[in-house]
């Protein structure tokens, strides 16, 4: 399993580096805004960066499936001492690990800045937990959209479908807010997408 996860991480290093750059930019921007900036402008830049990050997570999922299909990677891996389910599990674990590795430092930084600037953390605890969970779940949902759309050798269809999927997820968060109902919907969506991906991946010809 570790060999498979390592392979996924190495093959998609470009996405990891891009996501890391965006996250570092966001952290820098938050620090600058907290000390010297105008809050409204900073929030706008962060929101735009977050959207780009979500698109990037979606692209990561799509790239994992698309490159596999186009280069027939699984056709080789499935003849070695692994099963299709294990190949997919390693892929999803690698994707989830990348998402968490990008978002957790970002969220820790945001909390640290609130603490340093003397904001009443006890008051914000519930909001911070809700926003953090919603951001992670939205990222996972976007990643799952990418996984779903990437399993085709056509480039245009998955790209358009994925953008449409991300738009829907973001609209859901905007309409429902960061509440529990949005989280449940995002979680259900992610689980359903993963089940669909698993079914397709384990039953089609490689």
Partner 1 sequence: MNDKPIVVEDLVKYYDGRCVLDGVSLEVPRGCIYGLLGRNGSGKTTMIRILLGLEPPTRGRTLVLGEDSMRLSARAHGRVGYVAEGHNLIQSYRVGRLISLCKGLSLQWNGEFFGRLVETFRLPMDRRVRELSAGMRAELNLALAMAIDPELLILDDPTLGLDTVARRQFLELAIDVIQRQGRTILFSSHILGDVERIADRVGILVAGKIVVDCTLEELKDRVKKLRVIFPERAPEDLYITEIINQQNQGREMVLTVANWNRQKQTILETFRPESCTELPMTLEDIFIECTRPASAPVLQESEV
Rule CB under 8 A: which residues touch partner 1? Answer: 3-4, 7, 71-73, 75-84, 86, 203-206
Residue 90 Cβ, how far from partner 1 at the closest point, in Å? 10
- The distance of closest approach from Cβ of residue 1 to partner 1 in the complex, given in angstroms and rounded to an integer, is 10
Q: Compute the least distance from the CB of residue 76 to partner 1, in Å.
A: 6
The encoded tokens of residue 85 equal 């389910």
| Residue number with CB closer to partner 1 (29 or 67) | 67
Nearby residues of 91 by Cβ (< 8 Å), 6 or more positions away: 4, 8, 64, 65, 68, 147
What the block records as the tokens of 124 is 């914000």
Q: How far is the CB of 136 from partner 1 (least distance, A)?
A: 30
**CB-nearer residue toward partner 1: 75 or 191:** 75
CB nearer partner 1, residue 3 or residue 127: 3
Residue-level length of the chain: 206
Most distant CA pair in the chain: distance in Å?
58
Q: Taking the mean position of all CA atoms in its chain, how far away is CA 89? A: 16
Token duo for residue 42: 């900073």
Residue 204 CA to residue 187 CA, distance in Å, equals 26
As measured in angstroms, the least distance from the Cβ of 18 to partner 1 is 19
| Closest alpha carbon to 204 in 74, 100, 21 | 74
DSSP state for residue 151 in the 8-state scheme: S
Residue 198 near residue 88, CB atoms below 8 Å: yes
Nearer to partner 1, 18 or 82 (CB): 82
Residue whose CB is less far from partner 1, 82 or 112: 82
Tokens of 194: 């993963």
| Residues 56, 22 contacting (CB under 8 angstroms) | yes
CB of 84 to partner 1, least distance (A): 8
* H-only helix segments in the chain: 2-11, 13-35, 39-71, 73-77, 84-116, 121-150, 156-176, 180-203
For partner 1, the closer CB: 52 or 206: 206
């Amino acid at each position: 399993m570790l060999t498979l996860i390592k392979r996924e991480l190495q093959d998609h290093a470009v996405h990891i580096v891009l996501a890391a750059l965006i996250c570092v930019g966001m952290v820098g921007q938050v620090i600058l805004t907290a000390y010297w900036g105008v809050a409204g402008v900073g929030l706008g830049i962060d929101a735009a960066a977050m959207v780009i990050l979500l698109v990037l997570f979606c692209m990561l999922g799509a790239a994992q499936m698309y490159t596999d299909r186009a280069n027939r990677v699984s056709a080789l891996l499935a003849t070695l001492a692994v099963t299709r389910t294990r190949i997919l599990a390693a892929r999803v674990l690698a994707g989830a690990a990348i998402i968490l590795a990008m978002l957790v430092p970002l969220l820790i930084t945001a909390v640290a800045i609130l603490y340093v600037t003397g904001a009443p953390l006890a008051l914000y605890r519930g909001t911070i937990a809700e926003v953090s969970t919603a951001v992670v779940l939205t990222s996972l949902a976007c990643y799952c959209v990418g996984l779903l759309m990437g399993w085709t050798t056509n480039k245009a269809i998955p790209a358009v479908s994925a953008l449409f999927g991300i738009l829907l997820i973001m609209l859901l968060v905007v309409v429902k807010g960061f509440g529990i109902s949005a989280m449940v919907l995002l979680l259900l969506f992610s689980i359903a997408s993963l089940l669909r991906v698993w079914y397709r991946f384990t039953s089609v010809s490689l």
